[in-house]
Amino acid sequence: MPLVPDLDDAARSGVGRAIDALAGRRVAVLTGAGVSTDSGIPDYRGKGAPRRTPMTAQTFLSDEAARRRYWVGSHLGWRAFSAAEPNAGHEALAALERDGIVTGVVTQNVDGLHLRAGSHRVVELHGTMRRVFCTHCGQVFDRRDIAERLERDNPWITVPDSVPLGPDGDVLPESAEGFAIPACSVCDGVLKPDVVFFGEFIPAGKFREAEQLLLASEALLIAGSSLVVNSGIRLVERARRRRLPVVIVNRGETRADNRATVKIDAGTSAVLSELARALPAAR
């Protein structure tokens, strides 16, 4: 069982108010990168997060050199990223779903840790690193198979020491020279991870799934997201219009702090574990 850090007095007070707000309600959950930091995957914007220049979809598709740099970094980080284990926060949300309290999880993360922790209804807004697809013919590949191809075609590549892992499982490579990038084995087209790149829109059908989950719920719990991405704010606004309780758990400010019924400035693993312990008894 993952270790859960202690909460300070202010956070414990916030947990008590959150329990009061959520007790007896069916709860939709929105998670961001902060939920996975205790699994060793860094946040995008939190304290200590590495400085990053996001790869845009347009650059990835139009610039072979940029595409090569992306695949080098993505491959170097893949092993560490894929080896990450669900933490106490992921497990707490899975337990709340089993208890019939959480209706499902809408996540901005691409790490798949909610599913591995046992959550069943998971809407992956930004896609998943588990799959790669061809932008020409649409063929879908398992990321593990692509990783094997990359290692076979680039046997000289090694993971450098002390290079920070990015939130999407990549690192910033020193050089991409000579790296053989993968192509579609069906049509030789350009392969792309099944994730939403910077500048891309979330598929409309995927956001509708998130809206339907919220419609089936009576409260919204946000964990580990600063809500900089507009999809999160849109869900908060839909909850606000229905006058649903909104509980936010995040280290630091978010864009919706002034709309929250309860805001808890603390780590997600500890708070979610407390909620998983208390909410079943509060029904």
Domain extents for the chain?
1-41+86-126+202-283, 48-83+128-195
171 or 283, greater pLDDT: 283
Query: Which of 32-46, 91-105, 139-153, 159-173 has maximum average pLDDT?
Result: 91-105
pLDDT confidence of residue 6? 76
Catalytic residue selected from 75, 90, 114, 126:
126
114 noted as active-site residue: no
38 has pLDDT over 90: yes
pLDDT confidence of residue 3? 45
**Nearest partner of 106 among 17, 13, 19, 236, judged by Cα:** 236
Spatial separation of the C-alpha atoms in residues 75 and 240, rounded to whole Å = 41
How many Cα atoms within 13 Å fall on the side-chain side of residue 13? 4
Please provide the size of the chain in residues: 283
Average pLDDT over residues 48-52: 51
Q: What is the fold, at CATH topology level, of the domain defined by 48-83+128-195?
A: SIR2/SIRT2 'Small Domain' (3.30.1600)
Matching CATH number, 1-41+86-126+202-283, of 3.30.300.30, 3.20.20.70, 2.40.110.10, 3.40.50.1220: 3.40.50.1220
pLDDT confidence of residue 164? 53
Please return the burial class of 265, using the count of CB atoms within 10 Å of its CB with bins 0-12, 13-18 and 19+: middle
Spatial separation of the C-alpha atoms in residues 105 and 158, rounded to whole Å = 36
Average pLDDT over residues 177-199: 91
Q: pLDDT tens digit string along 199-225?
A: 889 999 999 999 999 999 999 999 999
What pTM value is reported for the model?
A: 0.89
Contact 102, 29 (CB under 8 A): yes
Q: pLDDT tens digit string along 257-266?
A: 999 999 999 9
Query: Which strands form 122-124's sheet, in the order they lie side by side?
Result: 122-124, 102-107, 27-31, 219-223, 246-249, 262-264
Mean of pLDDT over the chain: 88
pLDDT confidence of residue 213? 98
